[in-house]
Amino acid sequence: MLNFGTKEGDFIRKITKYVFEIPKEKNMKVDAYIFTDEKGLKEITEAIEQLKNVASLPGIVKAAYGMPDIHWGYGFPIGGVAAFDVEEGIISPGGVGFDINCGVRLLKTPLLYNDVKKHLEKLIQKIYEIVPVGVGSTSKKFNKKDFKNIIEKGVKGAIEIGYGYPEDLECIEDNGHITPASIKDISNKAYERGREELGTLGAGNHFIEIQMIEQIYDKKVANKLGIVENQIIIMIHTGSRGFGHQVATDYIQLMRNSFKNLSIPDKQLIYAPFKSELGQKYFSAMNCAANYAFVNRQIITHYIRIVLSELFNSSAQLIYDVAHNIAKLETHIINNELKKVIIHRKGATRAFGPNRNEIPQKFKQIGQPVIIPGDMGTASYLLVGTDESENIAFSSTAHGAGRLLGRRQAIRQLKLNKILSKLHKSGIIVKSKNKKTIIEEAPEAYKDIDKVIEITNYLSLSKKIARMIPLGVIKG
C-alpha cells in the first residue's frame, strides 16, 4: 500500500502500472479507482478525497473512477465517472457540472498544410470576426419558438432552420439529440441567458483551434475516418454557456430546498433520487442544456464553413462531436448482469467500442471516435473507443489534458510575454479577447497531454489514432 491518502490512515493500493485502488472504507459504498502514475497521484490530493465522497453516494454501482486527467472540481472531481442504479440511485448536478455538455467537435477539411500556411493569419482573423467570443458574447436572439425547437430537438432543430446538413447528425454523439427534454423544466432566467448565446464561443478553456495532423498511428482506422498526415482540421471546444450554468444553478438550489436533511460529505454533492419528480425534472432540463450545447457547436461549424468557402472555396465535414459533463441512461454489464444505470461523466468522455447499438453504422467496425484536446501549445489526439473500456470504467475515457495549475495559480506564477514568446517560436498564432485568458490557459497550466494519452492508450480506455498539433488558436 502507498500512503498517498489525504488523511492519516488513508491508503491507496497500486494494482498495475497505471491503476490505483482506494479500498472501500468508512462511508464508501464501493471502491474507487484512479488511472494515473505515482507522480500524477501526488498532484491530486483534493480530487482523491472528492472521489471517495462520490463512492459514498446512494445507489452507486461497481466503483467510482478517476480518469488520467483527474483534478479538483465542483462536487465530483473533473475526470470523475460514477454510475447509479436507476431505481435506487441518484442524479447530482455536481456530477455533471455547470457547463453541461461542454464538449469537443472535430472538423476535417480537404486542405493540406501547404494550402493554408500563407493564409493562416487571415483564416484565424476571419473566424475570430464571425464567431462571437469571450465573456458575455452574444449572437442573434432566438425567439421562444425556435429556442424550444432547438433545446427539445437538438441539432436536427438547428438544421431545420439552416444550420448545417442532415449528414452532420450521424457524426454527433446521440445524433445531437438527447431525451427527455422539455422547455417546461427550464426557468425563464435560463431562457433569457441562453437565447442570444447560441453560436458563441465563450471564455475560459473554450477555444477554436486550427490544427494539422502530425502523425497517424493506425492507418486503417484513419482511412475509414478520411484523414491523412498534414491535413488541416479544426477543433471546437465549447458548451452550453450561460444557459447550462443557469440550469445547474436553478436545480442545485431546488435540491437544497427540497432535501435539507440529507447527510452528504460535501454540500456540493447535493442530489435528488433519480426516480423522484425533481430528479426527473433536472434530467430533462440537463438534456435541454446538452442539446443546446450540441447546437452551439453546430452553429459555430456553420460560421466556419462560411469562412472556408470565402477563403478557399472549400468546406468542412464532421469527424465527430463528443459530450463531456453529462449524465446518461446506459446499459452496462455489472456482476455478469445487464443493468440500466444513470452514468455521470464529469470531465470525461464516452468511449464505446465497436458494434454498440448506440454507434452509427459508419463507426460500427472501428468504435466511437474520441477527441481529447491538449493545451494550446502542445497537441491534441483523435482516438476510438474499445471493447476493453466497457469492462474497465463503463466505456469512459479522459476528456483533455487536465489542469495542473488553478486559474489563480496561473495568474500568479506565469508571465504573458513569456507565454506569447514561446507560442510564437512554435509558430502558433493566438487570438484572444482577454490577455488574462491566455495566462490562465497557458500550456504550463496543464498536465502533459502525451502522458495522459499514454496512460489512456496503455489501459485501452480508448485507442490513439492520430496526433494533431495547433497552428492557430482562438480564445475568449
- pLDDT by residue (tens digit) across 85-139? 999 999 999 999 999 999 999 999 999 999 999 999 999 999 999 999 977 788 8
Q: How far is residue 131's CA from residue 308's CA, in Å, rounded to a whole number?
A: 13
Buried b (16+ CB within 10 A) or exposed e, 203-217: bbbbbbbbbbbeebe
pLDDT given for residue 10 in this prediction: 58
Q: How far is residue 298's CA from residue 292's CA, in Å, rounded to a whole number?
A: 10
Site of grid cell 472540481: 73
As a whole number, mean pLDDT of residues 468-473 equals 97
Looking at the 3D structure of the chain, how many domains does it have?
1
Q: Which of 189-203, 322-336, 425-439 has the lowest mean pLDDT?
A: 425-439
In a domain, 310, yes or no: yes
Buried b (16+ CB within 10 A) or exposed e, 166-201: eebbebbbbbbbbeebebebbeeebbebbbbbbbbb
313: left (phi over 0), alpha (psi -120 to 50) or beta: left
In a domain, 375, yes or no: yes
Query: Which positions make up the binding site for Mn(2+)?
Result: 99, 206, 237, 324
Res. 8 pLDDT band, cuts 50 70 90: very low
Residue 260's CATH number: 3.90.1860.10
Q: What is the DSSP letter of 218?
A: -
Edge-to-edge strand order for the sheet containing 31-35?
13-16, 19-22, 31-35, 60-71, 78-85, 337-346, 326-334
**293: which 3 cell numbers?**
450545447
Q: Are 238 and 297 in contact (CB under 8 A)?
A: yes
Q: How far is residue 33's CA from residue 459's CA, in Å, rounded to a whole number?
A: 13
**Per-residue DSSP letters for 377-388?**
TS-EEEEE-BHH
Digit-coded pLDDT (tens) for 121-131: 999 999 999 99
Query: Which positions make up the binding site for GMP?
Result: 205-209, 324-325, 373-376, 380, 399-402, 475
- Known catalytic residue at 344: no
Q: Are 140 and 196 in contact (CB under 8 A)?
A: yes
Domain that holds residue 184: 103-475
Q: What is the DSSP letter of 95?
A: G
In a domain, 440, yes or no: yes
pLDDT for residue 445 is more than 90: no
In a domain, 454, yes or no: yes
pLDDT given for residue 6 in this prediction: 45
In a domain, 288, yes or no: yes
pLDDT given for residue 9 in this prediction: 46
Q: How far is residue 56's CA from residue 249's CA, in Å, rounded to a whole number?
A: 23
Q: Are 476 and 203 in contact (CB under 8 A)?
A: yes
pLDDT for residue 1 is more than 50: no
Digit-coded pLDDT (tens) for 230-285: 999 999 999 999 999 999 999 999 999 999 878 899 999 999 999 999 999 999 99
Given the residues 302, 332, 399, 424, the one annotated as active site: 399
Digit-coded pLDDT (tens) for 161-212: 999 999 999 999 999 999 999 999 999 999 999 999 999 998 888 999 999 9
- Look at the chain and count its residues: 476
For the chain, what is the mean pLDDT? 94
Q: What is the DSSP letter of 69?
A: E
In a domain, 114, yes or no: yes
**How remote is the C-alpha of 176 from its chain's centroid?**
14
Res. 398 pLDDT band, cuts 50 70 90: very high
Rg, Å, the chain Cα set = 21
**How remote is the C-alpha of 205 from its chain's centroid?**
11
pLDDT given for residue 451 in this prediction: 96
Residue 45 CB-density burial (10 A; 0-12 exposed, 13-18 middle, 19+ buried): middle
pLDDT given for residue 140 in this prediction: 79
Q: Are 399 and 347 in contact (CB under 8 A)?
A: yes
In a domain, 471, yes or no: yes
pLDDT for residue 36 is more than 80: yes
**317: which 3 cell numbers?**
465535414
Q: How far is residue 246's CA from residue 389's CA, in Å, rounded to a whole number?
A: 33
Query: Which positions make up the binding site?
Result: 99, 205-209, 237, 324-325, 373-376, 380, 399-402, 475
pTM, entire model: 0.96
In a domain, 16, yes or no: no
